[in-house]
């Protein structure tokens, strides 16, 4: 970010010393940055609306007019709730950076009351409200059925819009639990009793000690007491 500020300062002091030529319309640069981010967004879901806005550039910025300003993302960047977009001109040569924010207006599940770490939410704990939230629609929980089989990863206060990273799957298998190992060998289904070495969530992979051979194997969780190997 310090590099971006330095480049902007150069634009204010260095390029700004040019007199007698047409100057770049700063609103055009904001529009180019906004359109650049919008073009990379997937189409919003039904009932959802994206709000994309570029920050106001410093009025002291004096850039020679560019016939075709080009927007780009700095190396390692990708569109997010707040993204720094680069703008450059090949001739006359200059570059500047502008922050762009993305918000989604959409129906989202919102907490009615405080929720503690590990708490399991039900329909009585949330309301479905249409509101403007930071970032993309995919981050937010919109369907009450998504609460099933999940619990709160972190504590959150009333009015918090639920995001996918606030909810984590419930454990289906716990460390030390006895489970049934199942594998298909030559079209024959083989079963053996095992002991889970770690916790596991639905559909997750887990290491299990075969209690007959004492070998440690890995499989995918199919139910609360069944792990299928060979997947």
pTM for the model: 0.65
Domains, the chain: 2-102 (no CATH), 104-169 (3.90.1210.10), 178-229 (2.30.30.760)
Looking at residue 203, its pLDDT comes to: 87
The three-state (H, E, C) secondary structure of the chain, written as one string: CHHHHHHHHHHHHCHHHCCCCCECCHHHHHHHHHHHHHHCCCCCCCCCEEEEEECCCCCCCCCECCCCCEEECCCCCCCCCEEEEEEEECCCCEEEEEEEEEEEEEEEEEECCCECCCCCCCHHHEEEEEEEEECCHHHECCCHHHHCCEEECCCECCCCECEHHHEEECCCECCCCEEEEEEEECCEEEEEEEEECCCECCCCEEEEEECCCCCEEEEEEEECCEEEECC
Looking at residue 224, its pLDDT comes to: 87
Q: Do 61 and 8 contact (CB within 8 A), yes or no?
A: yes
Looking at residue 46, its pLDDT comes to: 81
Looking at residue 188, its pLDDT comes to: 86
CA distances from 107 to 49, 130, 163, 164, 228 (A): 10, 4, 12, 14, 39
Looking at residue 136, its pLDDT comes to: 86
pLDDT tens for the chain, residues 1 to 231: 444 443 444 444 444 444 456 999 999 999 999 999 999 888 888 888 999 999 999 989 999 999 999 999 999 988 999 999 999 999 999 999 999 999 999 999 999 999 999 999 999 999 999 999 998 888 899 999 999 989 999 999 999 999 999 999 888 899 999 999 998 877 788 899 999 999 998 888 999 999 999 999 999 999 888 999 875
Residue 190 CB partners (closer than 8 Å, separation 6+) = 182, 183, 184
């Amino acid at each position: 970010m310090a590099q971006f500020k330095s480049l902007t300062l150069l634009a204010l002091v260095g390029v700004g010393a040019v007199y007698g030529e047409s100057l770049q319309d700063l609103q055009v640069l904001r529009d180019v940055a906004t359109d650049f981010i919008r073009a990379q967004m997937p189409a919003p879901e039904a009932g959802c609306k994206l709000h994309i806005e570029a920050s106001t550039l410093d009025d002291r910025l004096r850039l020679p007019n560019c016939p075709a300003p080009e927007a780009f993302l700095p190396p390692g960047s990708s569109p997010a709730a707040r993204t720094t977009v680069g703008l450059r001109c090949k001739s006359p040569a200059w570059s500047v950076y502008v922050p762009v924010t993305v918000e989604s207006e959409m129906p989202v599940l919102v907490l009615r009351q405080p929720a503690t770490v590990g708490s399991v939410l039900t329909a009585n704990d949330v309301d479905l409200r249409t509101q403007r939230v930071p970032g993309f629609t995919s981050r937010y929980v919109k369907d009450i059925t998504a609460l099933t089989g999940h619990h709160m990863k972190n504590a959150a206060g009333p009015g918090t819009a639920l995001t996918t990273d606030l909810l984590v799957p419930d454990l289906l298998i716990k460390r030390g639990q006895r489970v049934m190992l199942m594998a298909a060998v030559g079209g024959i289904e083989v079963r053996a009793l095992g002991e889970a070495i770690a916790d596991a969530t639905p559909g997750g992979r887990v290491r299990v000690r075969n209690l007959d051979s004492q070998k440690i194997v890995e499989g995918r969780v199919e139910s609360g007491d069944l792990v299928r190997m060979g997947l």
